[in-house]
């Protein structure tokens, strides 16, 4: 079994995926737009979230489904039609990194145009930890255990 995150965007999924490729080192493996989606069989067309559903005019180029490899995991994503979109709530994406420098680089990138919830700093559990919601509305935790992890392992 593998647990993957599925991120919903408010019309800016392609921009977010490009950003995550550039700054997080992800690689988009699959991308399907609403305009490319095949029609659903008539007996399934009324199911929520199915291809063939009504989507806003001009959404042909918006992402219906995408898959991104990120490290040893997968993130899936899509643009959600405005009537169905809800901002992320109750979850946060966590990036665990090996060095404080990588934590600082990622935090700076995700903070650009976003909202810092907790500045990147040393905590009792991590050499660097911070919380930010990126400009696409996705909440992230950046965690570098660093020396804290090494000290715990030595005990």
Q: Where are the domains of the chain?
A: 1-86, 87-155
> Whole-structure pTM over 0.75, yes or no?
yes
Q: Are 142 and 120 in contact, with CB atoms under 8 Å apart?
A: yes
Determine the average pLDDT of the residues in 141-146: 94
CA-based nearest residue to 144, from 101, 92, 93: 101
CATH class of 1-86: alpha beta
CATH topology of domain 87-155: 3.30.720
Tell me how many degrees the CA angle 92-93-94 measures, rounded to the nearest 5. Answer: 110
- The pLDDT tens digits for 7-20 are 999 999 999 999 99
Please report the sign of the dihedral spanned by the C-alpha atoms of residue 89, residue 32, residue 70, residue 110: negative
Percent of the chain with pLDDT over 70: 85
Residue 98 pLDDT class (50, 70, 90 cuts)? very high
Which residue, 52, 55, 51, 45, is CA-closest to 80?
55
Q: Check whether 77 has a pLDDT greater than 60.
A: yes
Kindly provide the b/e burial profile for residues 111-134, where b requires at least 16 CB atoms within 10 angstroms of the residue's own CB.
Answer: beebeeeeebeeeeebbbbbbbbb
């Amino acid at each position: 079994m593998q647990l993957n995150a599925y991120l919903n965007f408010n019309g800016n999924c392609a921009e977010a995926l490009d950003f995550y490729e550039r700054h997080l080192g992800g690689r988009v493996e699959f991308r399907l737009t609403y305009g490319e989606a095949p029609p659903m069989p008539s007996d399934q067309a009324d199911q929520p979230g199915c291809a063939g559903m009504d989507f806003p005019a001009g959404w042909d180029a918006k992402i219906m489904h995408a898959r991104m490899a990120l490290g040893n995991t997968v993130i899936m994503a899509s643009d959600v039609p405005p009537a169905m979109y809800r901002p992320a709530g109750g979850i946060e994406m966590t990036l665990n990194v090996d060095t404080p420098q990588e934590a600082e680089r990622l935090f700076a990138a995700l903070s650009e145009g976003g909202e810092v919830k907790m500045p990147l700093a040393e905590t009792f559990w991590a050499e660097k930890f911070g919380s930010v919601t990126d400009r696409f509305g996705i909440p992230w935790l950046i965690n570098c255990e660093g020396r804290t992890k090494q000290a715990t392992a030595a005990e």
